[in-house]
Each structure stands twice: as structure tokens, then as C-alpha cells.
Chains A and B, each alone.
Chain A
Amino acid sequence: MQPLIHINKLNLFYTSFHALKDVTLTIPEKAITAFIGPSGCGKSTLLRTLNRMNDMIPGTRIEGSIAIGGTELYSNEVDVETLRKKVGMVFQQPNPFPKSIYDNIAYGPRLHGIRSKQKLDEIVETSLKSAALWDEVKDHLKRSALSISGGQQQRLCIARALAVNPDILLMDEATSALDPISTLKIEELVQELKDRYTIVMVTHNMHQAARVSNQTVFFLSGEVIEYSDTEKLFSNPTDQRTEDYISGRFG
């Protein structure tokens, strides 16, 4: 597994709150990396740094290095619109637009200037197929995205993220609002997607991290305590705190 994302001594402050402390980490290409840790440990903050969604929170300050494929995310070479096109994101609550299924998927491509109906049709179909939703919705693409179930909505959001052709997909506790069966479907989907995309997921469900991911990173109070192959981290952690957390002694 080739490393794609390099994070080196990254510090992040929300005004005076030190949210990430000297985070150093590499994230491999075309694999699933899971961030675990108790609430408020900084895992979502780091995830949101990867597509610079933190920019919108006033008072955010960043020090250190975070680079994708050798390009610093906070340098002048990177414009945030392109970054977010390349690094898609799926949120905790399914958040489709109150538009048709078709228009939800086409939203991203249209932002980036695709107008041709034929091209959009094509993108909608391939994105929905990639998100394993095509068969369920192909006959009513004009129906409101809010009329389908929560699990389907979340897969729609994944399809929407894929429609702008990203390299990296960020998932911020993407299954925590879903029932077990929908969760399972998304986990299976993520397994399929990792052949084509680099996936970084935040989860508060350790079993999910163990089931799904290739690499796991354990956060505590804004620090990365440990990261390694998922199997190794769960069977043979090197840090006592990791062991305490994964064996359910806190968090």
C-alpha cells in the first residue's frame, strides 16, 4: 500500500482550543483507514482538515504539514474548490438536497461546468451504480431524494460524492444514523469502493473499524496515540491506552 496522504506535526487550534496536537500520520492509497477514539478526540477535526471544511469555522488556525500526493493542502497551489472535488465527503446524517434523485447526483458535475444532458445522464447512472443504488431507484430518478429511506439516502450521498470523480472519500461517522441492515450495506459498498478510492472513515463503532478497515488510527485528546494495520492494532496494540480503549475500559 503506497502512502498517499502525509501529515506531519499538524497542529490545529479553534481560537484558543488546541484540537490537534503534533499529529503525524500517513494514509495509504486505495485502502480504508479508520479513525477511532472517544468523542472530542479530534478524529472528525482531522478528517475535515483533509478537505479543508474547517476553513469555514472562524478562528481556526493550522500549523505543520498536511499533503496529498506531495501537495500541501494549505499552499497557494491548491484552490479549495478543486481540493473538495478531489476529496469527497459523506456526513453523519444523510443530507440530500430537497431535489430529485437525478438533480442530487448532477449537482456536483453541474457546479464544475458540465451542462450536456447526455454526459449528466451517464454520470448519474455510473455514480448510482457505484453506490449500489441504481437498481433501486433507476425507475424513479425524478422522485424527490427525501422520499427514499435513510439508508438509501446515505448511499445517494455517496453516489453524489462520487459523481465529481474524487480520488479520496471521507466518511464522517456515515453509518451512525442508520439501522444495522443499512449499515451493513454501506460497509459492503465501502469494501467495493476501496479498489478505486482512498477511503478515510471516522467511526465511533470499534467493531466497524475492525470489520471494514485496513489501517486504524487511535486518537485521544487531540493526539494520535497509535496507528497500524487494523489487525495488529486490535490484536496486539503497543500502547496501554489503545488496549484500554479497544477492550472497552473507557470511551
Chain B
Amino acid sequence: MSIFQDANRKQIANRRRVDWLLHILFVIATSVGVLALCALIIDVLVDGVARLQPQLFTEFPSRKADGSGMKSALVGTVYMLLIMLPLSFVLGVGAAIYLEEYAGKNRLTRLIQLNISTLAGVPSIVYGILGLTIFVRLMSLDRSLIAGAFTMTLLVLPIIIVSAQEAIRAVPKSRRDASFALGATKWQTVSRSVIPSSLAGILTGVILAMSRAIGETAPLVMIGALTYVAFLPNSLMDSFTVMPIQIYNWISKPQLEFKELAASGILVLLALLLIMNFSAIMLRNKYQKNV
């Protein structure tokens, strides 16, 4: 009677059941991550919100929890970012431009490429050992702010290179052709056409790499960043501490008050991460409109 008559109802019902089942499975898979993060945030909030007071930002760490703050760690993290950001931006984006625009596509560049991708996955403690050997010992920079910033730069470089390369590769070839056809040199094409078109992607990658760096502890412990710093670094050669180290220091103390302080430190760190990731998203949206 109808063209739908020969449909195999049973088989369709089966297909739908599989569809529904997998749908549920994917929802569960997603919830695991989200729930874990929620649990973490709630747990930390419960412990730390009471200690989230101005003194956290204005006081140096002390033996008494009540008078303790993380001023030196916060400032250390900010200084670290300020040194790392321009360094890793210039080196990382420079390397990405070289690999994407200038280097020939041959076996050597493929090998370099493979190495960079591998380096992006090397455990951060290994960078710590490298930093200790090269910057602290060989260049005798000691346990200074600059040695820490150099080590962290090495750590984030592969991440920045890979993400900048992806952003640069996403610029359509037709845009380069348009520039070359007007008589542009390679650098003119890169600086006036390719980089403006890929800047949002590049910056997003840089910010995400920075937010990874400010949470890193291991490499800085390795090169000997101090856990108890009751002063602000005045020069690049001063010793320093950063937020995750301060948190680690507090959490390893037996008293409950310090555990609460650690929780409030984590809240500050999370807030900073959130701000950075949010600004990465804003940047992307802003630039995507005119790409």
C-alpha cells in the first residue's frame, strides 16, 4: 500500500537502541571530567574560602598561618610570566614561521617536526634537569628568577611552536598568492598577510602554554626555587618562588590552618588560569570575525 511498507521494523529498532546506548555512554564520558572538576572546585572552596582574604595577597609566608600570605609567590609567578611571555613568543613563533614558511619540505624538516612534537610530551621534570645543568650550573645563573624563566621557556616552546604552526598552516594559500602576486617578498607576505590572519590562533596557543607554565612545579623544584621566600625578587638574579610551590609547601605542613591556606592558594591559581583561558577564547572570537 505505501512505499514505507517493506521497512524492516525490527532492524530499525535495533539500530535506534544502539544509537541511544552510545548517546548515554558519551554523556557519561563527558560527565566524568566535568564532575571531577566540580568536585575539586567545591572541595577547595569549602576548605579555602575562609582564608581568601586581602592578607593572602599582601603578606609574605610566615610560620604562623594567621599572618601568612602568598605575596612573594604571586609576584614570583607574575615576574616569571613577564619574562617568559616575550621570550617564548619570539622564539616559538619565529620557529613556527621558519618551519611553515621558509624551510623546505624535506627529510630534515620532517625530523625536526617529529622532535618538536615529541618534546611537547616530555615530562616537565626532564626540563628541570636540563635547566639545572645548563642555566643553574653551566651558565652559573644559580637558583635565580632568570634561570627559572629560561627553564620554563624551554618547557613551553614546543607547545607554542606546534600551535603556532597549526595557526599559520590554516591561513589559505590563496592569501599568500595574492600577496606574492603584488610583488611582496616572503617576509612582507608573512608579516602583512600570514601573521595578521593567524594571530588569534597564535595568541590562543601562547596563552594556553602560559597557563600550563604557571601551574608547573616540578621543573622549578628541580632547579631549586625556594619554598620559603619572605621578600620580593629585586633583580633577575634573585631567588624566587611561585604559586604552585607555595601551595605545595603549605599543603605538606601538618597543621590544618596551612591546609586551608593551600586551598585558598589553589583558588587564586584557578582564578588566574580561568582568566587566562577566558581571554584566549575572547581573543579567538574577536579575531575570527574578520578572518
- Point out residues on A near B: beta carbons under 8 Å: 51, 53, 56, 58, 80-85, 88-89, 91, 93, 95-99, 107-108, 110-112, 144, 146, 157, 160-161, 164
Contact = CB atoms under 8 A, between A and B. Distances in A.
B104 interface: yes
Nearest to A109: B182
B174 A95 contact: yes
A107 B179 contact: yes
Nearest to A88: B181
A107 to B, nearest CB: 6
Given A107-B179, A164-B183, 4 more contacts: A82-B183, A97-B178, A97-B179, A111-B192
A58 B105 contact: yes
Given A58-B104, A97-B193, A144-B290, A111 B175 contact: no
Contacts, number: 67
16 contacts: A53-B180, A53-B181, A58-B105, A84-B180, A85-B182, A88-B182, A91-B181, A93-B174, A95-B175, A96-B178, A99-B196, A107-B182, A107-B192, A108-B183, A144-B290, A164-B182
Contacts of B105: 58
A164 B177 CA distance: 16
A95 B181 CA distance: 12
Nearest to A90: B181
Interface string B145-167: 00000000000000000000000
Nearest to B197: A98
A245 B183 CA distance: 36
A89 B179 CA distance: 10
A51 B172 CA distance: 20
Interface string B170-195: 00101101111111110010001100
Given A84-B183, A107-B192, A98 B178 contact: no
B291 interface: yes
Contacts of A157: 178
Nearest to A157: B178
Nearest to B182: A108
CB-based closest 7 A-B pairs: A85-B183, A108-B182, A95-B174, A89-B181, A84-B183, A81-B183, A95-B178
Interface in B200-241: none
Interface residues of B, number: 21
Interface of B: 104-105, 172, 174-175, 177-185, 188, 192-193, 196-197, 290-291
B104 to A, nearest CB: 7
A120 to B, nearest CB: 14
B181 A161 contact: yes
B227 to A, nearest CB: 49
A91 B177 CA distance: 9
B180 to A, nearest CB: 7
Nearest to B104: A58
A155 to B, nearest CB: 14
A230 to B, nearest CB: 26
B182 A160 contact: yes
A97 to B, nearest CB: 6
Contact of A111 (B182, B196, B290): B182
A107 B175 CA distance: 12
Contacts of A56: 180
Contacts of A93: 174
Contacts of A146: 290
A112 B183 contact: yes
Contacts of B184: 81, 111
A56 B105 CA distance: 12
A114 B196 CA distance: 20
Nearest to A164: B182
A164 B104 CA distance: 30
A235 B80 CA distance: 77
A108 B181 CA distance: 9
Contacts of B188: 111
Nearest to A79: B183
Contacts of A53: 177, 180-181
